[in-house]
Copies of this chain bind each other. A is one copy, B any other.
Amino acid sequence: MMEKVKKIKSGDVRTASRLIRHLEDGMAEARATMKHLFPLTGHSHVIGITGSPGAGKSTLIDGLVESFRKKGKTVGVLAVDPTSPFTGGAILGDRIRMQRHAEDPGVFVRSLATRGSLGGLAKAVGDAIHIMDVMGKDIVLVETVGTGQQEVDIINHSHTVIVVLIPGMGDEIQAIKAGILEIADIFVINKSDREGSSKLRRELMAMLDMAPLSSFPAGWRPPILKCDNAFEPDGFVKSLEIMSQTIDDHYQHLIKHDLLGTRVHRKSAVELNEAIKCSVLEPVLAKLVANGELECMIEKLSKKETDPYTLAEEIAKRYLKAK
C-alpha cells in the first residue's frame, strides 16, 4: 500500500494508471489507497474546460499543454468522454491529438468513460484529479462536454472553469449560456473567424452586464477571449499564451482574495456527495443484483404487477436503518 503511494508521489505513470483503472472498476483496495493519497493533495491548479461537442476543446487543450510546458509547468490532462453506455470504453482512448506529448514525462493524459447507469463518473474524475495532484502535476486540465448536471458536478472539481463557445450555434445556446454563466471564470470564443463571432461576443457581454455584481467573486468579471485556429498558426499560439496567462491571473486572483477556500469547499461538497452515493447506493444495488431480485422486480414492473414507487419504498425499508 505505502509502496504504491510512494510510487505515485514520485510520478510513476504505470502505478497511477493502474490505480485509476482499478478505481473505475470499483475495486475496494483502490479506494483504500485513496485514503492515503488524499492528505497529500492540494498542490495542483485544477482547470475545467467545458463546451459543446465540436467546439474544439481538444485542440485548445493540446495548445494549452504546450503553453504551460513552455513555462516549465508539469501538466495532467483528464478527458471525460461521452461514450457508449453499452460498450463502456473511452472511445477516443488517450486522445490521438495528445500523442505528440506522449514522449514528454511532464505530461500525463488519461481518459475516463461513463460507465453503468449508476454514474459515479464525477467521483472517478475527483479521484483521478487527486492522483495527478499527488503525482506532482502543477496543472490539471479536465475536459468535459455539455452542461448537464453530471458535467456541472465534474466541473465543480475545478478551481478555474473555462467555457468554450463557437459562433453560429442555434438559439438554444441561450439556455446553455444562462446555465453556465454561474460556473464560467473565463469564456473562450473558439473558431472566432466564423460568422456570428461578434454577435456571440456582444451577447455574452450583455449577459455579463445584466448579471448582479455579486456573481463576480471579488470583482472577477469573466473575460471573453477569442481564439482562431483555422488560418493563422501564429495567431493560435498567441491566443493560447493569452489564455494560459489569464488562467494564471484567475488563480492568483483566487489566492489574493482568499477565494481558493470557497472553491475547495465546493470541490469537497461535490466529492462527499459522490462518495456517499457510492457507499450507500452501490451495496444495496449489488445485493439486489446478486440474488437476482432486481431482475425479478423489473419483470414485475414491465407487467405492471407493481409500481416503482412501492418497490423503492420496500427496498428502503429493508436496507436502511430506521433511526
Name A residues whose Cβ lies closer than 8 Å to a Cβ of B.
31-32, 34-35, 38-39, 41-42, 52-58, 81-87, 91-92, 114, 117-119, 121, 126, 145-153, 169-170, 172-176, 178-179, 181-183, 261, 264-265, 267-281, 283-285, 288, 294, 297-299, 301-302, 304, 307-313, 315-316, 318-321
Contacts and interface: CB of A to CB of B under 8 A. Distances in A.
Contact of A298 (B174, B272, B311, B320): B272
A319 B246 CA distance: 46
- Main SS at interface, chain A: helix
Contact of A265 (B83, B302, B307): B302
A301 B53 contact: no
A309 B54 contact: no
A117 B277 CA distance: 11
A125 B179 CA distance: 19
Contacts of A265: 298-299, 302
A154 to B, nearest CB: 10
Nearest to A81: B175
A311 B268 contact: no
A169 B51 CA distance: 13
Among all A-B residue pairs, the 10 with the closest Cβ atoms: A54-B169, A275-B312, A38-B307, A54-B170, A279-B312, A268-B301, A275-B308, A279-B316, A146-B146, A53-B172
B304 A42 contact: yes
A283 B86 CA distance: 31
Contacts of A82: 146-148, 175-176, 179
Nearest to A181: B84
A170 B316 contact: no
Contacts of A87: 182
A283 B320 contact: yes
Contact of A114 (B148, B169, B261, B277): B148
A138 B138 CA distance: 57
A277 to B, nearest CB: 6
Given A182-B84, A276-B315, A35 B307 contact: yes
Given A269-B298, A276-B284, 12 more contacts: A31-B309, A35-B309, A38-B304, A41-B304, A53-B175, A54-B169, A84-B179, A91-B174, A150-B150, A265-B299, A272-B308, A280-B284
A280 to B, nearest CB: 5
Given A39-B307, A114-B149, A281-B276, A172 B271 contact: no
A274 B315 CA distance: 13
Nearest to A151: B148
A277 B281 contact: yes
A170 B311 contact: no
A93 B212 CA distance: 22
8 contacts: A54-B170, A54-B172, A85-B183, A117-B153, A267-B302, A272-B297, A279-B313, A279-B316
A137 to B, nearest CB: 18
Given A84-B179, A121-B149, A170 B91 contact: no
A151 B150 CA distance: 10
Nearest to A34: B309
